[in-house]
């Protein structure tokens, strides 16, 4: 009677609840989505910022340095108009790899390529032509300033190495002298660049980004990233036949890898 | 015959090089080629001259290679184009594996042993050019002329061949060497039908004579009539009378038509009937108010027009079109000229609509096409997006300054050497030189530099007064008290009508601080004592020289400007151009630069160093003038003027300008 009529009711109620098959399918999809996102996130984290950028003015020796680091041999070079990248084994025993990226130094291209690769930069090697430094100090400082006030560079704070190249030339300036001159020049540039007229769409050119500490003279130690100066020579003292002279550079690369 | 042939990757590594017998190192000319042509988007034509060499080049966009050949400018080698194409094909096929699989490391590690293949191709190319021997002249027997006469002889003796022969003989008879021709004709035909030829000749001669006689008589008749008609004219001419003008010989009194009674006296002049309604126009207007221009924007119409052709091209084609489009989206498809041409056409029209000069838009599109030809597109990228991306990159590249743009830094440098920094403003009439000069002096004063304005516009009425008003205003805004007692702005003027170059020179030496009043302790002209010295005035940090506006075609004025710049050697020569200018910008800049280069005595003449783009607030997004100007001169845009108040001075933002240009 009554008990009999009560029993079919729970059975009738069950189809109103979501079918366990559907529920399990939904759960499975959710699990797949979560794993996918996690995987993407982890991979992104790992592959992001594994690049070492070679920056510098035109004719600083970036492409030759690139070739020497990767193969050890001398190659003739021309002005680069596009980037080159390759994987570099930091040392024979360590299995760490970094991606070396050689960017063109010409004025019309350098900022475009920097935009493209700055997010992936773990370290920056800024190559300076030590022999022509006296003549080019303002241009070197301007490019360095543009790199240093870039918002993603300030955020990520990649390690910075200033490689004073072409030390095989007799008139080449030492790294210490280059450091002093750059600090003086960047000190002046801080003032003049922030006083420049605002750009057309209203965004100030390097306005909010203040380099170093206000009130004090600019010093490379005031920057959020580690800055080092090394001397090197991509051509090498023995010319095209011999090896390049850049142990300090290789050691630094091994350190940051 | 070649000086060198290099193959290098776009990343900068030289893959293979061939040095000719007497050729110098190939690096410097090739670098010049890269910097002037490839990086400045002048890749339309494929040849370039550098000193004594002509360089021809070819891009391989699939594997990112550049092939360059250099030879002496005075030689004209016809086989070079073919040689480059052959070498390109052979090199690419031989080392395809290295490029595709190993990437950059492959380029670095492999040696490219191409010498033998290259020598073979060079030999083939040289031989093919020599193969075409100079053409030997045909003998008379081979020519068509003799064959015609023979044929005519052989064919029927109807009217047609006779006429042909007659016309041939007629033509022959007119020239001097006719008899030779006739004789030759006779001789060639001679064996076949000598009698017929002879008869025909006589007949034709008689007929000619007859005809001529008839014509002669006809003409004689006409001549007779004609000779009569000139006679009465001649008779008339004999009696030559002086022409009499009405009232000619009478004196001025007769010619004076002014009413002597009314001239000068106001009351006597009749009051004209004038209708104030017609003169004034609208009766209901408020007195003194200036109404706005009424217009309606048709931007939406433009967008629709541009979008619809794109849509129609997508819908076109039935199943085959669909399949082709899908194939184009996925997988590696290399770009061909035909794919790119319609899109480049559209982009060219779009650029021209945005006020880029027409020839520059054409050259830009050519250069982008050369850069993209043969490139392999990635998956899910359409041809349109690739072309647009490439064009955008090219435009940003053009707008990036090729040299440092930091006026304040250079002023500080000049300050350290105790000399003023001299800036000269030049341009055509009415572009805003004086206005922007005032804006720049305001900006410099805000940064603590004192400015001397040299009024070298001695022609235009009110130019000096305009600058004096600006000086007064600026001094009111920045009084000497707030800057340690020194006047921040001063005007150096010598009135109107004087020589502009002389005024500029005096202004610069005044700005340097020499020639003050008072006694000089050392009495040395080149004394570099600083301001506390009583013999000098304070000296100024910057001297801004304002010149008169002049049209680029006006040769004497261009010479005067060139002289001013050559004599005074300013630190910065700024060309002021308005953003409203269209195709005219190209002409202006080319002629200004040419005038400055022609009239300069120095080895490296001072050309325009920078551009000021004015009236930027008057164009909405038709910002093409910026591209035209930087493309022509490859000099940066230093300032942008966006209004007429002192604060309306901006610096150029390349990305914003390109975004405005590419916006549909």
What's the CATH number where B429 sits?
3.40.50.300
What is the percent of chain B where pLDDT is above 90?
13
B259 domain-assigned: no
Q: Is A176 helix (H, G, I), strand (E, B) or coil?
A: helix
Which of A196, A203, A204, A234 to mutate: most B Cβ within 10 Å?
A: A196
**Between A11 and B572, whose confidence is greater?**
B572
B140 domain-assigned: no
Q: For residue B630, what are the contacts with CB-CB under 8 A and spacing of at least 6?
A: B398, B399, B611, B636, B637
Taking the CA of residue B370 and the nearest CA in chain A, the distance in Å comes to 15
B108 vs A71, A111, A189: nearest CB: A71
Q: Which runs of E-coded beta strand occur in A57-156?
A: 84-89, 97-102, 121-129
Q: Does B12 touch chain A (CB under 8 A)?
A: yes
Bridge partners, B18 (sequence order): B5
Q: Spell out the domain ranges in chain A.
A: 48-194+211-256
Which residues, numbered 425 to 444 in chain B, qualify as contacts with chain A under a Cβ-Cβ cut-off of 8 Å?
443
Q: Does B360 touch chain A (CB under 8 A)?
A: no
**What CATH number is given to the structural domain containing B70?**
3.30.450.60
**Between B275 and A145, whose confidence is greater?**
A145
Confidence band, pLDDT 50/70/90 cuts, at residue B183:
very low
B552 domain-assigned: yes
B644 domain-assigned: yes
The answer to whether the CB atoms of B651 and A70 lie below 8 A apart is no
Confidence band, pLDDT 50/70/90 cuts, at residue B526:
low
pLDDT of residue B349: 92
Confidence band, pLDDT 50/70/90 cuts, at residue B190:
very low
pLDDT of residue A92: 66
Q: For all residues of chain B together, what is the average pLDDT?
A: 75
**Between A68 and B160, whose confidence is greater?**
A68
B397 vs A79, A86, A108: nearest CB: A108
The answer to whether the CB atoms of A81 and B39 lie below 8 A apart is yes
d(CA A210, CA A149) in angstroms, rounded, equals 7
Mean pLDDT of B644-659: 86
- Burial (CB count <10 Å: 0-12, 13-18, 19+), residue B266: exposed
Which range of residues forms the domain containing residue B606? 407-513+537-662
Q: Does A194 touch chain B (CB under 8 A)?
A: no
- Residue A42 predicted with pLDDT over 60: yes
- Pick the most confident of A15-19, B433-437, B481-485: B433-437
The answer to whether the CB atoms of B651 and A200 lie below 8 A apart is yes
Q: Check the CA dihedral A144-A147-A149-A154 and report its sign.
A: negative
String of DSSP letters for B283-301: TTSPTT--PPPP----HHH
pLDDT digits (tens, 9 = 90+) for A147-174: 888 888 888 888 888 988 888 888 888 8
Beta carbons of A82 and B107 less than 8 angstroms apart: no
pLDDT digits (tens, 9 = 90+) for A121-148: 888 999 999 888 888 888 999 899 888 8
User: Which region among A110-124, B189-203, B413-427, B529-543 has the lowest average model confidence (pLDDT)?
Assistant: B189-203
The answer to whether the CB atoms of B6 and A78 lie below 8 A apart is yes
Q: For residue B279, what are the contacts with CB-CB under 8 A and spacing of at least 6?
A: none
Confidence band, pLDDT 50/70/90 cuts, at residue B225:
low
- Residue B406 predicted with pLDDT over 60: yes
**Between A203 and A37, whose confidence is greater?**
A37
pLDDT of residue B187: 46
Mean pLDDT of B58-81: 83
pLDDT digits (tens, 9 = 90+) for A180-199: 999 888 888 888 887 777 77
A200 vs B40, B105, B652: nearest CB: B652
B397 vs A83, A112, A191: nearest CB: A112
pLDDT of residue A115: 87
**A193 interaction partners in chain B (CB closer than 8 Å):** 406
User: What's the domain count of chain B?
Assistant: 2
Q: Does B13 touch chain A (CB under 8 A)?
A: yes
Q: In the structure encoding, which two tokens stand for residue B152, read together?
A: 């005519």
A83 vs B11, B401, B649: nearest CB: B11
Taking the CA of residue A51 and the nearest CA in chain B, the distance in Å comes to 15
B482 domain-assigned: yes
Q: For all residues of chain A together, what is the average pLDDT?
A: 80
User: Which region among A57-66, B434-443, B527-536, B586-595 has the lowest average model confidence (pLDDT)?
Assistant: B527-536
pLDDT of residue B436: 93
pLDDT of residue B208: 76
d(CA B347, CA B189) in angstroms, rounded, equals 67
**Between B183 and A99, whose confidence is greater?**
A99
- Residue B618 predicted with pLDDT over 80: yes
Taking the CA of residue B545 and the nearest CA in chain A, the distance in Å comes to 21
pLDDT of residue B441: 92
pLDDT of residue B576: 93
Mean pLDDT of A196-209: 60
- Pick the most confident of A187-201, B126-140, B432-446: B432-446
**A200 interaction partners in chain B (CB closer than 8 Å):** 616, 640, 642, 650-653, 656-657
Taking the CA of residue B133 and the nearest CA in chain A, the distance in Å comes to 40
**B412 interaction partners in chain A (CB closer than 8 Å):** 188, 192
Taking the CA of residue B33 and the nearest CA in chain A, the distance in Å comes to 10
The answer to whether the CB atoms of A197 and B657 lie below 8 A apart is no
- Measured distance between the N- and C-terminal CA atoms of chain A, rounded to whole angstroms: 81
- Pick the most confident of A88-102, B237-251, B451-465: B451-465
What is the percent of chain B where pLDDT is above 70?
68
Beta carbons of B355 and B625 less than 8 angstroms apart: yes
pLDDT digits (tens, 9 = 90+) for B1-18: 778 888 888 888 888 888
B177 domain-assigned: no
d(CA B418, CA B469) in angstroms, rounded, equals 29
Confidence band, pLDDT 50/70/90 cuts, at residue B79:
confident
Confidence band, pLDDT 50/70/90 cuts, at residue A107:
confident
Mean pLDDT of A203-215: 60
* Strand pairing category for B333-334 and B376-377: antiparallel
Q: Does B631 touch chain A (CB under 8 A)?
A: no
Mean pLDDT of B230-252: 59
- Domain boundary (B114, B130, B146) is at B130
Check if CATH label 3.40.50.300 holds for domain A48-194+211-256.
Answer: yes
pLDDT of residue B157: 55
B384 domain-assigned: no
Q: What is the pTM of this model?
A: 0.69
- Burial (CB count <10 Å: 0-12, 13-18, 19+), residue A219: middle
B650 vs A78, A107, A200: nearest CB: A200
B53 domain-assigned: yes
Confidence band, pLDDT 50/70/90 cuts, at residue B166:
very low
């Amino acid at each position: 009677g009554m008990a009999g009529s009560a029993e079919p009711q729970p059975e009738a109620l069950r189809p109103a609840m979501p079918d366990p098959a559907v529920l399990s399918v939904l759960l499975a999809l959710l699990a797949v989505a979560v794993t996918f996102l996690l995987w993407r996130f982890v991979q992104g984290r790992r592959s992001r910022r594994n690049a070492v950028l070679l920056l510098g003015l035109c004719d600083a020796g970036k492409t030759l340095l690139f070739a020497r680091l990767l193969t050890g041999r001398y190659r003739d070079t021309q002005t680069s108009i596009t980037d080159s990248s390759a994987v570099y084994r930091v040392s024979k025993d360590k299995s760490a790899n970094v991606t070396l990226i050689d960017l063109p130094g010409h004025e019309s291209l350098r900022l475009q390529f920097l935009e493209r690769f700055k997010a992936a930069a773990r370290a920056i090697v800024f190559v300076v032509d030590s022999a022509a430094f006296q003549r080019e100090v303002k241009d070197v400082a301007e490019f360095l300033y543009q790199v240093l006030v870039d918002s993603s560079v300030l955020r990520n704070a990649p390690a910075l190495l200033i490689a004073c190249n072409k030390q095989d030339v007799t008139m080449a300036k030492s790294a210490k002298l280059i450091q002093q001159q750059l600090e003086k020049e960047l000190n002046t540039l801080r003032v003049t660049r922030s006083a420049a007229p605002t750009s057309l769409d209203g965004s100030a050119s390097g306005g909010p980004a203040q380099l170093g500490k206000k009130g004090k003279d600019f010093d490379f130690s005031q920057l959020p990233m580690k800055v080092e100066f090394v001397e090197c020579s991509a051509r090498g003292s023995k010319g095209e036949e011999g090896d390049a002279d850049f142990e300090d550079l290789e050691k630094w690369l091994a350190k940051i890898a | 015959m070649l000086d060198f042939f290099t193959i290098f990757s776009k990343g900068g590594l030289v893959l293979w090089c061939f040095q000719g017998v007497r050729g110098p190192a190939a690096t410097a000319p090739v670098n010049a080629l890269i910097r002037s042509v490839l990086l400045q988007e002048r890749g339309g034509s494929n040849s370039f001259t550098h000193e004594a060499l002509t360089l021809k080049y070819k891009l391989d966009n699939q594997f990112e290679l550049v092939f360059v050949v250099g030879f002496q400018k005075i030689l004209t080698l016809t086989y070079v184009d073919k040689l480059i194409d052959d070498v390109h094909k052979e090199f690419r096929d031989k080392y395809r594996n290295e490029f595709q699989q190993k990437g950059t490391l492959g380029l670095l590690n492999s040696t490219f042993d191409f010498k033998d293949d290259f020598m073979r191709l060079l030999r083939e190319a040289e031989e093919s050019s020599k193969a075409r021997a100079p053409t030997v002249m045909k003998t008379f027997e081979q020519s068509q002329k003799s064959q015609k006469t023979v044929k005519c002889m052989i064919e029927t003796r109807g009217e047609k061949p006779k006429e042909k022969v007659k016309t041939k003989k007629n033509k022959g008879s007119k020239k001097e060497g006719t008899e030779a021709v006739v004789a030759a004709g006779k001789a060639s035909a001679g064996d076949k039908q000598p009698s017929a030829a002879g008869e025909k000749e006589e007949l034709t001669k008689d007929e000619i004579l007859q005809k001529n006689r008839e014509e002669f008589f006809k003409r004689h008749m006409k001549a007779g009539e004609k000779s009569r008609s000139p006679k009465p004219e001649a008779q008339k001419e004999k009696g030559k009378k002086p022409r009499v003008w009405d009232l000619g010989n009478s004196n001025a009194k007769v010619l004076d038509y002014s009413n002597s009674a009314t001239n000068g006296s106001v009351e006597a002049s009749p009051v004209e009937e004038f209708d104030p309604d017609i003169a004034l126009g609208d009766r209901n207007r408020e007195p003194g108010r200036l109404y706005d221009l009424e217009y309606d924007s048709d931007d939406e119409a433009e967008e629709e027009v541009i979008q619809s052709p794109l849509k129609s091209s997508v819908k076109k084609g039935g199943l085959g079109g669909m399949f082709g489009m899908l194939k184009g989206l996925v997988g590696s498809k290399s770009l061909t000229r035909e794919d790119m041409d319609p899109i480049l056409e559209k982009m060219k029209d779009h650029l021209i609509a945005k006020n880029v000069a027409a020839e520059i838009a054409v050259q830009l599109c050519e250069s982008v096409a050369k850069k993209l030809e043969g490139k392999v597109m990635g998956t899910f990228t359409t041809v349109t997006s690739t072309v647009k991306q490439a064009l955008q990159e090219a435009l940003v590249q053009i707008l990036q300054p090729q040299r440092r743009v930091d006026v304040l830094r250079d002023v500080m440098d000049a300050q350290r050497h105790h000399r003023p920094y001299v800036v000269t403003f030049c341009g055509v009439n009415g572009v805003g030189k004086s206005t922007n000069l005032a804006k720049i002096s305001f900006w410099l004063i805000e940064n603590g530099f004192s400015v001397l304005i040299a009024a070298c516009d001695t022609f235009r009425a009110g130019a000096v007064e305009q600058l004096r008003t600006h000086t007064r205003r600026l001094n009111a805004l920045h009084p000497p008290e707030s800057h340690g007692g020194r006047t921040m702005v001063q005007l150096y003027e010598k009135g109107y009508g004087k020589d502009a170059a002389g005024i500029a020179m005096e202004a610069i030496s005044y700005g340097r601080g020499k020639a003050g009043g008072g006694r000089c302790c050392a009495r040395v002209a080149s004394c570099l004592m600083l301001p506390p010295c009583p013999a000098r005035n304070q000296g100024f940090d910057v001297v801004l020289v304002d010149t008169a506006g002049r049209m680029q075609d006006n040769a004497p004025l261009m010479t005067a400007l060139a002289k001013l710049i050559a004599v005074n050697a300013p630190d910065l020569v700024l060309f002021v151009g308005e953003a409203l200018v269209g195709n005219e910008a190209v002409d202006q800049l080319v002629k200004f630069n040419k005038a400055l280069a022609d009239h300069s005595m120095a080895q490296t003449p001072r050309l325009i160093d920078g551009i000021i783009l004015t009236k930027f607030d008057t164009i909405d997004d038709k910002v093409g003038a910026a591209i035209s100007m930087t493309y022509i001169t490859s000099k940066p845009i230093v300032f942008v003027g966006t209004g007429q108040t002192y604060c309306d001075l901006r610096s150029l933002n390349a990305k914003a300008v390109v975004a405005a240009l590419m916006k549909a």
